[in-house]
Amino acid sequence: MQEIAPLPSVGRNDGKNRIMEYIFLKSEVREDGITIMTVSAPKSLNALNSTVLREIDDFVSNLDTQKTRVLIITGDGEKSFVAGADISEMVHLYEKEGYEFSKLGAIAFRKIELLPIPVIAAVNGFCLGGGCELAMACDFRYASSNAKFGQPEVGLGITPGFSGTYRLAKLIGQGYAKEMIYTGKAIRADEALRIGLVNAVYAPEELMERVIETAQKIVANAPLAIRYAKECINESYDMVAADAIELENRNFGKCFATEDQKAGMTAFLNKEKPSFKGC
């Protein structure tokens, strides 16, 4: 995977701890193993400029996935998750820079997809272009009833650039993906639910509570088993059936080398609640 040079503004080390200082990201590391990363660029409805993309890359690259068991990604405010890549930056780009900008987003989003922990998008409002692509890099999405999804790029004279053509077609099928991308139309949350782009829709004030509830259910389960399951689901995307099944056989086997497998099954047989250690 190609490395991205971190921006000087992004992280520093005070000798003991790495200190994250971001311009466009806020984060909350909670006691219950859930971390919330919020994209915050209110003047542009949380649009993704190259600094935000580098910050996301840095954040994900340095996330402690032992402490954080579920990552939630959201946007600041109720109006917008992310309204796309930053058009005021892209307007000045030519072919080479366009390619590099696309790579920057694609690499950061691929790192989200490959995190060894589940990532949930809490989609609050506009989820357009690069915003929809960010949400699709997450494992699944819950939306607020005011969310709007779309890939409006062709109306700006460009294609989706942060792996939207790839992930949208995989997620909702080529027919719906082509319709959304060719027309550039925005769809409402209920339509996104119907075509499988999101898993659930809630009132805006309820959204984060519901996402956290689901995240807590995940945290209660065995982290290594979840990691292996995620690896199987991700990898089998691009595999023939025999390889995908073999990978599952191997990861299933690996679970039996963990203490959590013994703890989980013993607790079940003793009619107790299991307590998992992640080893």
For binding to ligand CAA (CB under 6 A), which residues are involved? 44-45, 47, 83-88, 105, 126, 128-130, 133, 152-153, 156, 158, 160-162, 164
What is the Cα–Cα distance from 264 to 274, expressed in whole angstroms? 5
The residue from 153, 191, 209, 259 that is catalytic is 153
- Which residue, 109 or 228, is less far from ligand CAA as judged by CB? 109
The residue from 133, 205, 213, 235 that is catalytic is 133
- Which residue, 156 or 195, is less far from ligand CAA as judged by CB? 156
CA-nearest of 103, 123, 115 to 53 is: 103
Distance of closest approach, residue 127 Cβ to ligand CAA, in angstroms = 10
- Which residue, 33 or 129, is less far from ligand CAA as judged by CB? 129
Known catalytic residue: 133?
yes
CA distances 189 to 43, 107, 172, 192, Å, are 24, 27, 14, 5
- Which residue, 160 or 223, is less far from ligand CAA as judged by CB? 160
What is the Cα–Cα distance from 84 to 63, expressed in whole angstroms? 24
What is the Cα–Cα distance from 208 to 192, expressed in whole angstroms? 18
What is the Cα–Cα distance from 64 to 54, expressed in whole angstroms? 18
What is the Cα–Cα distance from 136 to 35, expressed in whole angstroms? 18
Known catalytic residue: 153?
yes
Distance of closest approach, residue 67 Cβ to ligand CAA, in angstroms = 31
The residues annotated with a catalytic role in the active site are 133, 153
